[in-house]
Amino acid sequence: MIKEVNAWLYRQHDADLSLEVPGEGYAGWTQRKIPIDPTHTAIVVMHAWDVGTPEQFPAQYRVCEYIPRSTEIIKSRFPGFLEKVRASGLPLIHVGSQTETSLESLPGYIRTKGKWGVDPQPLPRVDSDPVWEQLQAIRVDEGLYGKHNMEGISASREHRDFAIMPKDNEDVVATTHQLFQLCKEKGINHLIYTGFCVNACLTMSPCGMYDMSRHGVLCSIIRELTTAVENKESARTENNKAYGLWAFSLWGGFVFDQADIETDLLKK
């Protein structure tokens, strides 16, 4: 049965050329009912990780300022939401990164690898050279993480695991190839994402919006069940989250409020 669900979309029109800043003429965010077919839709939990505590892995927290926010969302919002997803019968897909300590032992991932392997044809890469290697080192050691944090980050990654542990009957994937094959098998063409972060992994990593949109999958997101990687300039206002939700709306699908998903889609 088709369900009508409240959703947000961004009206990226019309720029008003009579204004000093034409883009300020855009209509912007608006909410409307949209049709959703539950037989072609799934909820995705992506990269919802347990990365340890600040006392255990201070370096991880120094470079990933979003972790306290994601941890709070996982603890306060996910349990009740996932209970309702599971009760509804809507497919629930867990997305890992091939780094989680329990991944290879999960029944859902064992099934996935048994059917489709990992990636049959990894993307070809250009040849590196000494300057390329130097540039990559500068980018990571001075920009992304800081060289003084690298050892601590590596230690944290050895601890990383699912904070939302998949149940045995739930599907688990870790590559775009696997998620695409799963969507084809189940007839899924609309993924509603939750997890972390809206402007990083959920967008750019394998199984994220960019890859799945290229496969024709509609990629939507739930506002309260994500956060963003913020920078010095945006951390106080969480402007990067606002940008990430806008990008999902324009190039992925729709933005949902958690309450509307629970009321309009998950209730039988």
CB atoms within 10 A of CB 88: 17
Going by pLDDT thresholds of 50, 70 and 90, the confidence category of residue 72 is: very high
Going by pLDDT thresholds of 50, 70 and 90, the confidence category of residue 123 is: confident
pLDDT at 161 over 90: yes
Going by C-alpha positions, the residue among 59, 21, 32 that lies closest to residue 147 is: 59
User: For residue 185, what pLDDT is reported?
Assistant: 98
Going by pLDDT thresholds of 50, 70 and 90, the confidence category of residue 11 is: very high
Task: Quote the percentage of the chain above a pLDDT of 70.
Answer: 100
User: For residue 192, what pLDDT is reported?
Assistant: 99
pLDDT at 245 over 90: yes
What's the average model confidence in pLDDT over 222-250?
98
pLDDT at 122 over 90: no
What's the average model confidence in pLDDT over 30-51?
98
pLDDT at 220 over 90: yes
User: For residue 105, what pLDDT is reported?
Assistant: 98
User: For residue 29, what pLDDT is reported?
Assistant: 98
What's the average model confidence in pLDDT over 229-249?
98
Going by C-alpha positions, the residue among 106, 120, 240, 205 that lies closest to residue 164 is: 106
User: For residue 223, what pLDDT is reported?
Assistant: 98
Going by pLDDT thresholds of 50, 70 and 90, the confidence category of residue 121 is: confident
User: For residue 120, what pLDDT is reported?
Assistant: 85
Average of per-residue pLDDT values in the chain: 97
pLDDT at 141 over 90: yes
Distance CA 202, CA 199 (A): 7
pLDDT at 203 over 90: yes
Which bin fits 52, alpha (ψ -120 to 50), beta or left (φ > 0)? left
User: For residue 27, what pLDDT is reported?
Assistant: 98
Give me the numbers of helices (H) and strands (E) for the chain, helices first please.
11, 10
Going by pLDDT thresholds of 50, 70 and 90, the confidence category of residue 151 is: very high
Burial of 216 (0-12, 13-18, 19+ CB in 10 A): exposed
Structure tokens at 108: 């859902």
- Coil, helix or strand at residue 172: strand
